[in-house]
Amino acid sequence: MNMKQTFFALQKKLGFSASFVLTMGVTIGVFLAVAVLYYVTLLQPLSYQKQTNLFVLESKIQGHPRAPKVSMYPYPVVTDIYKHQTHLDSVAIVTYGDDILFSLPSKPTVNLAFATPEYFQLLDVEYELGTGLSSENTLESSTPEAVISYQLWQDKFNSNPDILGEKVMLDSVSYTIIGVTSEDFIEPQLYEVGLKTDVFLPWPFNSVPERARNSWSNFAPNLFVLSYKSNDSPVSFIESQLTSQVNERWKQEVIGRKSFEGMSLKMELKPLKDVVIGDGRDIYFVMLLGGIGLLLIASTNVLNLLISRLSEQSRSLAIRAALGANKWHLVKHLYSEVFTLMFASLVVSLLVASLLFSVIRGEMQLVFPRAQEVSVNGFTILIASLTAFILSILLTLLPSLSINYKKLKSVVQGSGKGSGIQVSAKARKFALIFEVFIASVISIFSIMYLWSALAVINAPTHFKIDDVTQVQLTYSSGDGITEEEFTSVIEQIQGELLSMAEVESVSNSSSPFNGFSGRSVTKVVNDERFTVRSKYIDDEYFTIIDQQLSAGRTFSATEVKEGALVAVINESFSESFGGPNSAINSLISMRDEQYQIVGVVKDIHLPKVEGQEFRIYRPAPEKNSNFIVQLKPGMTLEPQSILNLIDRVNPRFTLYKMTELKSLYNQATFFEIVTVVISTLLLVVILFLCAVGLYGVISYGVNLRSVEIGTKLAIGSSRLKMKLAIVKENSIHFAIGFLSSALIIGYLIWKQHITEFVVSVFISSFVVSSAALLAVVVCASYLPINNLLRKNILQIIKGE
Amino acid sequence: MDNFVVELKDICKKFELEHMQTDALKNINLQIKKGEYLSISGPSGCGKSTLLSILGMLDAPSSGEYLLNGKNVAELSDTEGARVRNKEIGFIFQSFNLIDEINVFDNIALPLSYRDNKPSNAEIKQKVEECIELVGLSSRLLHYPKQLSGGQQQRVSIARALVTNPSILLVDEATGNLDSKSGDAVMEVFSNLNQQGTTICAVTHDTRYMDHASRQLKLLDGVFWQNEEIRQAI
Ligand SMILES: Nc1ncnc2c1ncn2[C@@H]1O[C@H](COP(=O)(O)OP(=O)(O)OP(=O)(O)O)[C@@H](O)[C@H]1O
Ligand SMILES: [Mg+2]
């Protein structure tokens, strides 16, 4: 093996070398990204020393037909577990929120975690500076201390080494910074994927309102119990002990309340890793399959390239054989080229992978829970090298099968009597079927994912998201504000907003994407119980988002002002009353108050909410700091003008967030948008690679058969017949490859949960993929024969 | 009998091409002694290249026995065959068959790189320089084949054939593609080599150079003829 010679030879074959390196580099890079993502997310242990012993204690509501599947706690249950449980070795409780950091001039919104001191011990947090929250903090009394994240320290405090002891001002409390977490600390994202805490504060400072803190019936999804369990206590035992302990207390508190009869809480210990990963393990597997498929198709294409290159080199190989090179020497010669190119591909692949990793860590951190942990490191390089090495061996050995050594030797003497390098018809047939098979597996899968994601994205919301913006304010000063003052400021701001030229109308409500909370409701007539999503709104709400009424009326301004006990429910809920019209005037009770149903509105559909939820809208009894603003068509709202407006009204208020409903919608469907982008890209790439590969194999075969084809033409067969014969022949290979892949996928789907939706998605993916691939196959078989048939018969027979 | 470098017994070679059969060689018997300079001549298509291919182990006979240095080559595996071809045979092709992608030095050194125990770089360098000097092209070592004239290319291919010190040099129409001046120079090289003890079997249809050889044979339609027989036949 002579590297210098190899290098020189490849330099002269730039097209070949570039195709090889680009194809392999990009596909190995993509494969690397999905393989590492798969490994890091599903297999790699969490980065905490005690990770195998860390569990999240979840609370599932039992004995209720419409209970949510996620873990939900009433606030006092969490604190009760923290104070009184004895079965787990250590417990930390944590909840999340966000707020404006007023002590900084830029007034950034920061993510907050409110935790008990054990949180830092359980996760073995290390610190760049200082320490974690001191263990003197209890649920009753806490000093206002804060631990900030490395990121925040870097971004907002310029990595100030003297930060300890400085104050941060959040929600009118001034906290002393006592620690900065180390750069390597990766917090478990318990509440929302991609949500990274900037400031850790003691639990008692959390933003749960006083009323909810004491409510045993108000279930919240953002309360978490993190626990350490030693190895010798079995999970099921602890679960059952805790379940009975928690229920005993909880039932005592809600006793006599009709809505909770027959309900109980079930405590489940879920390994922290499972909680962090969440559902959707399948997606990693499917992506890995996609990566492998891509790699296989790309390798088949490169194999094609290598065989053509080999045919080109047949004279030089024959000379070498004549001079005493045995087959092994020839294989080594091949290997030196493949190895060199593969090395270049390896470098390209690492670049591609690091690019993809930065996209995953950045744009896609909301989709992949352990996105922060993927990077080009020793492990990545090892996988990349191993993949490149194995491929380089396969890509040497497989083409070398086409060398007929005995024939090759004799080639040097004569000229043009066969080349000694030929791929058997069987191998070509196999390659065709293989490419079609892989391409159809990937295209069926990607179209299925594409379809499902598009279905989510395109599902009508039944309310308006264009030209509506949500404006959220916050109150910024240290000293309190009276209810009246607050109401008057909000009213003034609402008036100012309405007088803006861009604005059509304003509602003092939050958008349909937020502001709903779970409530228990009973029908007064028969005590029938329901779990509903409840939201406070004002009289403008339905008009602004254009949510249609199906019966009755909406609220009047007076009803809103007085906080009248009237309600509007959605159509789904009205079914329980026998339809929209019968629901009107029915009475329902919530928290010991009775509401009269005055109207029924059409159902809304929020992305990813499965089935229809029962919804109830009530007039907001007091003003709140959220607005939805309907803009005049084509107008936009500038944050600065809102800031100025608020400042004019009352400088103690400021703009917290301003978001178009359109972008709230996009945030809610972000996962689907990512899915659409990835699967479309994959589909295009796979069809392209498949087309290139099939063209290569088919034109190789057609040229080999030029004598046969020429002879047939000479004895009177028509050109059209020849074309049809070739296309037909390859369509059979297509059919075999495609149908076998469809059967396998069909079987896989059939073995899993099979719903009407899945079947319809599968069938449409099947149809679309088959059409796309058939088109590819037809083109890839038509072009080579067409090119050949353009020559005259004599040229065809001579194979010129 | 051990004295023979080459011994062919009843060698036949048939080519089968789509229902058509060509008998390129018919019952060839031939012995070449060590140090001999054998010249085989005959018209185009009589089977000279076919015979040389069999002698050079580039092709196998359809029937008959070929002993090289007393060993039956039919019994050798592909790998052993490659080793013997590398070590014992120096082949000079009608069309030079140099590899265009590598330079003259690397072309000449190529057979050495297929040795079981590959010589050191220094040894290779010395050997290559020795051989290039024999053909008088020392100044062209770093040129590429395309940059040389036909005669120069042929001399490079001779140097390449010599680099392994083969037992026998097989020459196929060495002067066929050359003008008479270059041809003379090449033939001069063979005469010198033979005088230094190299066994040579050369094939040509050019009768001018036949006198250089110590023995001459004529091939006609795959059969050897003595000179008298030819005259009678004609
Ligand atoms: N691979 C082959 N397949 C079929 N026939 C062949 C093959 N090689 C040689 N022949 C036939 O065998 C006969 C001898 O061919 P060969 O090449 O040995 O002739 P030659 O004496 O070397 O001619 P020239 O002086 O033109 O080089 C010819 O009739 C040729 O057509
Ligand atoms: Mg010849």
| H/E run at residue B4 | strand B4-17
Reply yes or no on whether the pLDDT at A304 is more than 80.
Answer: yes
Structure tokens given for A27: 């596909």
Last residue of a domain, one of A642, A667, A692: A667
CA-closest candidate to residue A686, choices A26, A33, A38? A26
Reply yes or no on whether the pLDDT at A698 is more than 70.
Answer: yes
Quick: pLDDT tens for A479-504.
667 888 888 999 999 999 999 999 99
Helices (H), A74-180: 75-84, 118-122, 150-157
Which residues are near ligand 1 (CB < 6 Å)?
Answer: A 414, 417; B 15, 17, 22, 24, 44-50, 205
Burial of A712 (0-12, 13-18, 19+ CB in 10 A): middle
Cα dist from A773 to A683, A722, A762, whole Å: 11, 22, 16
Per-residue pLDDT, averaged over A643-658, amounts to: 85
What beta strand segments (E) does A138-242 contain? 145-148, 167-170, 173-181, 199-202, 219-220, 223-228
Residues of A in contact with B78 (CB under 8 A): 326-327, 405-406
What pLDDT score does A760 carry? 86
Reply yes or no on whether the pLDDT at B178 is more than 80.
Answer: no
Residues of A in contact with B81 (CB under 8 A): 326
On whether both A98 and A203 belong to a single domain, the answer is yes
CA-closest candidate to residue A10, choices A300, A254, A277, A345? A345
CA-closest candidate to residue A608, choices A448, A459, A754? A459
Residue A750 lies in a domain: no
Residue A608 lies in a domain: yes
Q: Which residues of B touch A (CB under 8 A)?
A: 49-50, 52-53, 56-60, 78-79, 81-83, 85-87, 89, 91, 93-95, 97-102, 106, 110-111, 113-114, 160, 164, 172
pLDDT band for position B2 (50/70/90)?
A: low
Cβ-based neighbours of A479, under 8 Å, separated by 6 or more: A172
Identify the DSSP state of A41: I
Cα A500–chain centre separation: 39
Q: Does the CB of A405 have a partner CB in chain B at under 8 Å? A: yes
- Closest by Cβ to B106, choosing from A5, A322, A405: A5
Residue A741 lies in a domain: no
Q: Ligand 1, residue A418: give the atom nearest the CA.
A: 1
CA distance A20 to A337: 11
CA distance B124 to B111: 10
Q: Does the CB of A416 have a partner CB in chain B at under 8 Å? A: no
What pLDDT score does A96 carry? 92
- Closest by Cβ to A316, choosing from B60, B83, B101: B101
Residues of B in contact with A331 (CB under 8 A): none
What pLDDT score does A130 carry? 92
Q: Ligand 1, residue B46: give the atom nearest the CA.
A: 21
CA distance B158 to B150: 12
Q: Kindly provide the b/e burial profile for residues A285-309, where b requires at least 16 CB atoms within 10 angstroms of the residue's own CB.
A: ebbbebbbbbbbbbbbbbbbbbbbb
On whether both A39 and A173 belong to a single domain, the answer is no
Reply yes or no on whether the pLDDT at A378 is more than 90.
Answer: yes
Residues of the domain holding A103: 68-262
Q: Does the CB of A407 have a partner CB in chain B at under 8 Å? A: no
What pLDDT score does A607 carry? 84
Helices (H), A569-653: 571-575, 580-583, 639-649
Please provide residue B159's backbone torsions phi and psi, each rounded to the nearest 5 degrees: -60, -40
Structure tokens given for A610: 């499965």
Q: How far is B225 from chain A (nearest CA, A)?
A: 24
What pLDDT score does A477 carry? 57
What's the CA angle centered on A729, arms A725 and A733, to 5 degrees?
A: 165
Structure tokens given for A394: 């396969």
On whether both A567 and A655 belong to a single domain, the answer is yes
Reply yes or no on whether the pLDDT at A369 is more than 90.
Answer: no
CATH number of the domain residue B199 falls in: 3.40.50.300
User: CB A5 to CB B113 under 8 A?
Assistant: no
On whether both A148 and A238 belong to a single domain, the answer is yes
CA distance A177 to A184: 19
- Tokens 């001039």: give the residue: A105
Residues of A in contact with B98 (CB under 8 A): 319
Reply yes or no on whether the pLDDT at B229 is more than 70.
Answer: no
What pLDDT score does B234 carry? 47
User: CB B53 to CB A413 under 8 A?
Assistant: yes
Per-residue pLDDT, averaged over A708-722, amounts to: 84
What pLDDT score does A403 carry? 87
Q: Does the CB of A176 have a partner CB in chain B at under 8 Å? A: no
On whether both A83 and A45 belong to a single domain, the answer is no
Residues of the domain holding B120: 4-233
On whether both A194 and A241 belong to a single domain, the answer is yes
Q: Does the CB of A406 have a partner CB in chain B at under 8 Å? A: yes
Cα dist from A600 to A557, A579, A758, whole Å: 18, 9, 32
What pLDDT score does B64 carry? 94
Reply yes or no on whether the pLDDT at B230 is more than 70.
Answer: no
On whether both A171 and A232 belong to a single domain, the answer is yes
User: CB A325 to CB B106 under 8 A?
Assistant: no
Q: How far is B87 from chain A (nearest CA, A)?
A: 8
User: CB A414 to CB B97 under 8 A?
Assistant: no
Quick check: A469 and A328 in contact, CB under 8 A?
no
**Nearest-by-CA chain B residue for A13:** B101
Q: Does the CB of A322 have a partner CB in chain B at under 8 Å? A: yes
Residue A42 lies in a domain: yes
Last residue of a domain, one of A667, A702, A719: A667
Task: Report CA(A610)–ligand 1 centroid distance (Å).
Answer: 80
Please provide residue A387's backbone torsions phi and psi, each rounded to the nearest 5 degrees: -60, -50
Burial of A53 (0-12, 13-18, 19+ CB in 10 A): middle
On whether both A246 and A291 belong to a single domain, the answer is no
**Nearest-by-CA chain A residue for B109:** A323
Q: Does the CB of A673 have a partner CB in chain B at under 8 Å? A: no
CA distance A506 to A471: 10
CA-closest candidate to residue B102, choices A420, A15, A409, A4? A4
Task: Kindly report the average pLDDT of chain A as a whole number.
Answer: 88
What pLDDT score does A552 carry? 92
What beta strand segments (E) does A422-542 contain? 468-475, 503-507, 517-523, 529-537
Per-residue pLDDT, averaged over A180-205, amounts to: 91
What pLDDT score does A66 carry? 66
| Nearest CA residue ID for atom 18, ligand 1 | B47
Residues of A in contact with B83 (CB under 8 A): 324, 326
Which is more confident, A545 or A621? Answer: A545
Residue A613 lies in a domain: yes
On whether both A600 and A650 belong to a single domain, the answer is yes
* Ligand nearest to the CA of residue B28, numbered in listed order: 1
Which is more confident, A740 or A258? Answer: A740
| Nearest CA residue ID for atom 20, ligand 1 | B45
CA distance A54 to A58: 13
On whether both A415 and A335 belong to a single domain, the answer is yes
Last residue of a domain, one of A231, A262, A293: A262
Task: Report CA(B80)–ligand 2 centroid distance (Å).
Answer: 26
User: CB A316 to CB B164 under 8 A?
Assistant: no
Residue A622 lies in a domain: yes
Count of domains for chain A: 3
What pLDDT score does A476 carry? 63
Which is more confident, A154 or A5? Answer: A154
Structure tokens given for A119: 């949180």
Residues of B in contact with A9 (CB under 8 A): 101-102
Residues of B in contact with A320 (CB under 8 A): 99, 110, 114
On whether both A105 and A233 belong to a single domain, the answer is yes
| H/E run at residue A92 | strand A90-100
Task: Report CA(B48)–ligand 2 centroid distance (Å).
Answer: 6
Residue A448 lies in a domain: no
pLDDT band for position A668 (50/70/90)?
A: confident
**Nearest-by-CA chain B residue for A414:** B49
Which is more confident, B1 or A236? Answer: A236
Task: Report CA(B133)–ligand 2 centroid distance (Å).
Answer: 28
Quick: pLDDT tens for A576-594.
899 899 999 999 988 778 9
- Closest by Cβ to B99, choosing from A319, A328, A415: A319
User: Parallel, antiparallel, or unpaired for β A109-115 and A90-100?
Assistant: antiparallel
Entry pTM = 0.80
Q: How far is B99 from chain A (nearest CA, A)?
A: 6
Query: Which one of B15, B17, B171 would you pick to mutate in the ligand 1 pocket, going by the greatest count of ligand atoms within 8 A of its CB?
Result: B15
CA distance A672 to A537: 30
- Tokens 């020392």: give the residue: B138
User: CB B82 to CB A406 under 8 A?
Assistant: no
Count of domains for chain B: 1
- Closest by Cβ to B58, choosing from A12, A320, A412: A412
Query: Which one of B18, B41, B46, B205 would you pick to mutate in the ligand 1 pocket, going by the greatest count of ligand atoms within 8 A of its CB?
Result: B46
pLDDT band for position A416 (50/70/90)?
A: very low
Quick check: A605 and A561 in contact, CB under 8 A?
no
Cα B113–chain centre separation: 20
**Nearest-by-CA chain B residue for A321:** B82
Q: Does the CB of A326 have a partner CB in chain B at under 8 Å? A: yes
CA distance A153 to B22: 89
Quick: pLDDT tens for A3-31.
778 888 888 888 889 999 999 999 999 99
CB atoms within 10 A of CB A481: 14
User: Parallel, antiparallel, or unpaired for β B168-172 and B199-204?
Assistant: parallel
Residue A140 lies in a domain: yes
Per-residue pLDDT, averaged over B24-50, amounts to: 90
